[in-house]
Amino acid sequence: MRKAIKKIGICSLLTLGVLLSGCGGGSKTRHGLEKVDWLPSSASKINVFETWGLANTKIYECSIPEKEFRTFASQKNWPLVETNDVYVIFRHVLRLEPLRTINGAQINLVPHALFFERKAKNGGGITVVYDLETKRLFVDSSNR
């Protein structure tokens, strides 16, 4: 009986270790891509950070004409709201220069944007910001 409990305990610890390690996950950052298969063909200058494993995350930005972005957003069921002064907090993960300098401070601020956000109870979800001035799309999506 004692050996069976010890075996169950060891198996439980091994399973927990695999789960906590992200099930063989990893991450990858890519800059300056011209095309990816999951964005419209009109998207360009694509920067991507991805993680995979237990928690899958995709943070990306790209240039895309507004008309094509609106079509893409509609296909993805992202109801957009026009708003001002949206901070693209997640952009630092891409390790790029800040979007703007305001009063000497470098920040990732979009002054005039189309915005969508859906958050899951587990902390995952998606945030979409489209800069109406620069025609640049910023997305942060995660399953956790």
Which residues does 40 contact at the CB level (< 8 Å), separation at least 6? 64, 68, 71, 72
pLDDT digit of tens for each residue in the chain (144 aa)?
554 444 444 443 333 344 344 455 798 999 999 999 999 999 999 999 999 887 789 999 999 999 999 999 999 999 999 999 999 888 888 888 878 888 888 888 899 999 999 999 888 899 999 999 999 999 999 987
Q: Within a domain: residue 14?
A: no
- Beta strands 125-131 and 109-119, pairing class: antiparallel
Q: Within a domain: residue 113?
A: yes
Domain encompassing residue 30? 25-142
Q: Within a domain: residue 6?
A: no
Number of separate domains in the chain: 1
| Nearest CA among 56, 28, 30, 29 for reference residue 45 | 30
Q: Within a domain: residue 46?
A: yes
Q: Within a domain: residue 2?
A: no
Q: Within a domain: residue 104?
A: yes
Q: Within a domain: residue 67?
A: yes
